[in-house]
Amino acid sequence: MDSTPHFSPSLLQKPQTPYLLLDLPTVTTAYQALRQAMPDVTPYYAIKSNPDKTLARHIASLGGLFEIASATEMDLLKEIGVEPSALLFTNPVKMPEHIQRAHAAGVWRYSFDSRAEIQKLAADAPGASVFVRMKAPAYDSAVPSEGKFGVDIDRAAELMSEAVKLGLKPYGISFHVGSQMESPKPWDVAIEEAAKLMKLLQARDITIEMLDIGGGFPGFYGQELPPIAAYGDSITKAIAQYLPYKVTLAAEPGRYLVANAGLLVTTIIGVAERGSKTWLHLDAGAFNGLMEALETQNTLRFPVSDSLGRQDTRLYNLTGPSCDSQDSILFDVPLSKGLDVGDRVYIHTAGAYTTCYASTFNGFNIPETFAQ
């Protein structure tokens, strides 16, 4: 999705920065495009990508459901009227107390990928429906996965059999191809592997009800991307080609739904010439809003503009307010010549994994969020 939201001047001119602006109509457009591209896939918004309550209410009003990684996220969603029974608890490794709280509240579907997790679920959520996290095929992404979760299909079949023996109900299979995946190809390979796992489970007299194809659908950071319709077409064809029987389909979109709706408004607090480079020190950096700059070694290229808006530009390095030298966002960014202390820099495509990653390191503020 490559549309740029337009914010009212009053929102752009709030006196205290940094702050995050969210354009809810942009979220609506993304949600509708996703539903049109994959009408048979139910979206469960990954609340971790941006847990703002106004945003969550808006997604719920569109008919969106939610996936959670903790009981704390469940509590947030309960506050806005979401029934726990509608949630998917997709974190494959959960704190026992969180399982207990979720089970008591009515959450009934849980992910796992280890024997230890099965044992916790059997003890703390007896009789729960479970889905095994399958290892996704390795494929380059802009925000790569480190292989923290997932098992191969033979191990997955063994674990599901163990879960059944402990009184848990075999519900489904899940995988996650990696965040900011700029090609639909990994889903094709993962769905083929999921089909093989379904057949292995059938041989053990286990039939599943759900396939969760995870998240990874990308936000637009100014690069060339296939449209979401291309992802939908590829996924739909793979499902029809590979799956041995019909199941309900779920997905976990996060970044795709909310990244492009966000604009991080920052103020320049310092300008410094260092060698041949000019550094702009902003009041928001990697530690209080832009952690993905560090996570991707500054390769995630947030689009940037400024309050001067001049055609005459020069290259700047953008860094944050803390005393940590790693607190830098982007290098060699073209912005207006003559930027100075007090001018504003706007970080676009900032709706996902910004405020939720932020800390008060060195005493600097987490950006407040405003929605329009």
Residue in this structure with the two tokens 């702050």, named with its chain if needed = 19
Q: Are 78 and 104 in contact (CB under 8 A)?
A: no
What pLDDT is attached to residue 3? 64
User: Count of domains in the chain?
Assistant: 2
280 and 367 fall within a common domain: yes
Query: Are 78 and 137 contained in the same domain?
Result: yes
The predicted model scores a pTM of: 0.95
**CATH code for the domain of 212:** 3.20.20.10
- Measure the CA–CA gap between 329 and 298, rounded to whole angstroms: 6
Q: In the prediction, which pLDDT does 285 show?
A: 95
Residue 371 forms beta bridges with which residues? 22
In a domain, 13, yes or no: no
Q: Which pLDDT does position 142 carry in this prediction?
A: 64
Asked whether residue 19 is assigned to any structural domain, the reply reads no
Q: Are 145 and 227 found together in one domain? A: yes
Residue numbers of the domain that contains 222: 24-258
**Residue 91 tokens, joined:** 């974190």
- Residue 137: what pLDDT? 80
Q: Are 93 and 139 in contact (CB under 8 A)?
A: no
Measure CA 144 to chain center. Answer: 12
Do 117 and 184 lie in one domain? The reply is yes
Examine the domain organization and report whether 171 and 292 are in the same domain.
no
Q: Assess whether the previous peptide bond of 18 is cis (omega < 30° from 0).
A: yes
Determine, yes or no, domain membership for 141.
yes
**Considering the domain boundaries, does residue 96 fall inside one?**
yes
pLDDT per residue, tens digit, the chain (372 aa), is 446 798 988 899 999 999 999 999 999 999 999 999 999 999 999 999 999 999 999 999 999 999 999 999 999 999 999 999 999 999 999 999 999 999 999 999 999 999 999 999 999 999 999 999 999 887 766 666 667 899 999 999 999 999 999 999 999 999 999 889 999 999 999 999 999 999 999 999 999 999 999 999 999 998 889 999 999 999 999 999 999 999 999 999 999 999 999 999 999 999 999 999 999 999 999 999 999 998 888 888 999 999 999 999 999 999 999 999 899 999 999 999 999 999 999 999 999 999 999 999 999 999 999 999
Nearest to 151, CA basis, from 133, 178, 126, 131 = 133
Is there a domain that residue 17 lies in? no
Q: First and final CA of the chain: distance in angstroms?
A: 19
Shared-domain flag, residues 247 and 264: no
pLDDT at 144: 61
CA distance 279 to 103: 51
SS (H, E, C) the chain: CCCCCCCCHHHHCCCCCCEEEECHHHHHHHHHHHHHHCCCEEEEEEHHHCCCHHHHHHHHHCCCEEEECCHHHHHHHHHCCCCHHHCEECCCCCCHHHHHHHHHHCCCEEEECCHHHHHHHHHHCCCCEEEEEECCCCCCCCECCCCCCCECHHHHHHHHHHHHHCCCEEEEEECCCCECCCCCHHHHHHHHHHHHHHHHHHHCCCCCCEEECCCCCCCCCCCCCCCHHHHHHHHHHHHHHHCCCCCEEEECCCHHHHHHHEEEEEEEEEEEEECCEEEEEECCCCCCCCHHHHHCCCCCCCCEEECCCCCCEEEEEEECCCCCCCCEEEEEEEEECCCCCCCEEEEECCCCCCHHHCCCHHHCCCCEEEEC
Backbone angles phi, psi at 125, to 5 degrees: -140, 60
- 92 and 156 part of one domain: yes
Q: What is the pLDDT of residue 272?
A: 97
Q: Supply the CATH number for residue 341's domain.
A: 2.40.37.10
**Same domain as 48, residue 67:** yes
Q: Is residue 242 included in any domain, yes or no?
A: yes
Burial of 6 (0-12, 13-18, 19+ CB in 10 A): exposed
Q: Are residues 62 and 81 in the same domain?
A: yes
Contact 278, 347 (CB under 8 A): no
Same domain as 197, residue 85: yes
**How far is 30 from 18, CA to CA, in rounded Å?**
26
Question: Does any domain span residue 206?
Answer: yes
Query: Do 175 and 68 sit in the same domain of this protein?
Result: yes
Query: What's residue 140's pLDDT?
Result: 64
